A and B are shown apart, each in its own frame.
Chain A
Amino acid sequence: MEGKAHVYGDNIDTDRIIPGKYTKTLDTASLAAHVLEDLDPEFRHKVKVGDILVAGDNFGCGSSREQAPIALKVAGVGVVVARYFARIFFRNAINIGLPVLEVPDHDIEAGDPVTIDLEKGEVFNQRSGKRFQATQLPKVMIDILNAGGLVAYLKEHGTYQLNEE
């Protein structure tokens, strides 16, 4: 995967990702029009399909609304990279099939072209030529992501399987 980096700061909460007033809908496409609007009203115009959202600590804190990762996904975001994520957002993103990578250390700046290897959990900054390693996901999360999300995973397996080695 390859895309341009959009870089934001720490503690971006779910009210900023998608305000509560827009969340009461099953029309997920409508969420894209309001994604990150209180943080950066230009974001939805700038973002291209497959782009990479880069944030600091605790991305996605606050509400349990799954509309937050969905809004990012329908807006075109391909991967979210953060130092670490809020717990519920992290699970939700994997469950709906939005890849998220916890990368404790990196040099990505706004506009950098970035290549992501999800299998290896590797982030490559084409500008600096440097590679950064993401924290390993639990196996069950990789399985869910590989299946395309939790709906597909459960369709396939019927229930959870924990085959940690």
Chain B
Amino acid sequence: MTISEKILSKKVGNLVKAGELIITEVDGVMATDTTAPYAIQAFQEMGGGQVWDASRCALIIDHAAPAPNERIANLHTMMREFAAQQHIHLFEIGEGICHQLMIEHQYVRPGDIFMGADSHTPTYGAIGAMACGVGSTDLAAVMKTGKIWLKVPETIRIVCHGPLQPGVTAKDLILYLVGKISISGATYQAVEFEGSAFENMTVASRMTIANMVAEMGGKTGYVNPKGLQLDYDFEAVFPDADAQYIQTLEFDVRDLGPQLSIPESPDQVENLEPHEGQAIQYAFIGTCCNGRLEDLQAAAQILEGKKVANGVRFLIAPASRSVLLDAITDGTLQTLVAAGATILNPGCGPCVGTHQGVPGNDEVVISAANRNFRGRMGNPHSNIYLAAPTTVAASALEGKITHPKKYA
């Protein structure tokens, strides 16, 4: 059995196979300020009442936080009122990005089935949970019934033989793989990542990998739990040796260099080198993909004692308050601010173009985020390159796309 088949079989109490349509109980749900207002409305229209289990629900104000205008402020109020009335925990502005918080605060654990009203919910496959993104009405239905219908997904197995070169990061690897699989290559399917390239990865790096399953069109994804370390006891779910995969892809990634996703789709991935020298005006590190402590530290190492180039805005949004606190404590933040970075509150920041740094016409952004669709950051007349935090930091120093090894 694949990881999905094992998790779902255990939950429904009999063996289920890829392709089967099932109804399963769910271990947890969350919604953000983009999706929760519609979910709350749909929940009321379904008849309201109490949610099936308040302790398994979370609401997060992260996408447009703090509120940039009156309309959004009122949506936030609606979330706060619903949370209070239902005794659901609400993560306030400044606490961080939904996906970071669900893992940090253990709303999701290995082997869980989790539905998040956000497309990057598969991130929790970093710790071996079956986590899927759903829309608001689906989420309302889970809040009401504690259940969801779904098709047991087929699985694509991706084996990567490492180790990665020093200085090449989990982000470079997942960009490379998104380029290979394409934006739709895993549609309706699960992805399992395994092999020596993943085994030594931190939880943060595993999150970067699982996060971009969304950019393959995947329903869910898992980094094989071999080598996974958490600060609590857990039972890891491994695939069986004779698990049936729809496809197995093997890559030797020992010589992989830094990767770049060029405008305007995450799967337009190329080696960094041909793009070196491309002028940039705006650099951004943050998001559920790359806003964690190791990402900020990697940037700080490059920026130490230097200054961001004239004419470059460098924005950093830590993924959570605890990331921010750790970066304050270990001096990372001092280095970043001294180099000229602007620190935003923990949250989604400018990722989705709602607030906090919209690029101007014809401007070029280099970003550690996961999406660069046209208009993604709020302006359809700007261009976004996606890269590892190291590449973003090096590029911010020079005002042009720069190979991070120059500052290694």
Contact = CB atoms under 8 A, between A and B. Distances in A.
Interface of A: 11, 13, 15-16, 19-21, 23-26, 38, 57-58, 61-67, 84, 86-88, 91-92, 95-96, 138, 140, 149-151, 154-155, 158-160, 162, 164
Contacts of B140: 150-151
Interface string B7-44: 00000000000000111000000000111011001100
B184 A65 contact: no
Given A64-B119, A88-B135, A164-B21, A13 B147 contact: no
B117 A162 contact: no
Which 4 interchain pairs have the tightest Cβ spacing?
A: A92-B135, A58-B184, A66-B135, A95-B137
A64 B358 CA distance: 21
Interface residues of B, number: 54
Nearest to B23: A160
Nearest to A57: B184
Contact of A64 (B64, B135, B187): B135
Contacts of B33: 24
A58 B187 contact: yes
B373 A88 contact: no
Given A15-B373, A38-B374, A58-B187, A26 B133 contact: no
Given A20-B34, A61-B217, A151-B137, A38 B375 contact: yes
Contacts of A92: 135-138
Given A11-B265, A87-B187, A24 B71 contact: yes
A6 to B, nearest CB: 19
Nearest to A12: B373
Contacts of B37: 24, 26
Interface string B332-373: 000000000000000000001110000000000000000101
A24 B72 contact: yes
B45 interface: yes
Contacts of A140: 21, 149
A24 B119 contact: no
Given A23-B34, A138-B151, A154-B144, A63 B119 contact: yes
Contacts of B121: 64
A26 B75 contact: yes
A92 B136 CA distance: 8
8 contacts: A19-B378, A20-B376, A24-B72, A67-B38, A84-B187, A96-B137, A150-B138, A160-B147
B230 interface: no
A21 B353 contact: yes
Nearest to B117: A64
A151 to B, nearest CB: 5
A36 B168 CA distance: 37
Nearest to A93: B135
B373 A62 contact: yes
A86 B135 CA distance: 12
A63 B136 CA distance: 12
Contacts of B134: 64, 88, 91
B54 to A, nearest CB: 18
B187 A25 contact: no
A24 B145 contact: no
B260 to A, nearest CB: 19
Contacts of B380: 19, 38
B269 to A, nearest CB: 15
B378 A87 contact: no
B279 interface: no
Nearest to B153: A87
Contacts of A21: 353-354, 378
Interface in B175-195: 183-184, 187-188
A67 B138 CA distance: 13
A75 B136 CA distance: 20
Contacts of A65: 34-35, 135
Interface string B114-156: 0011110100000000000111111011001101110100000
B43 to A, nearest CB: 9
Contacts of B71: 24-25
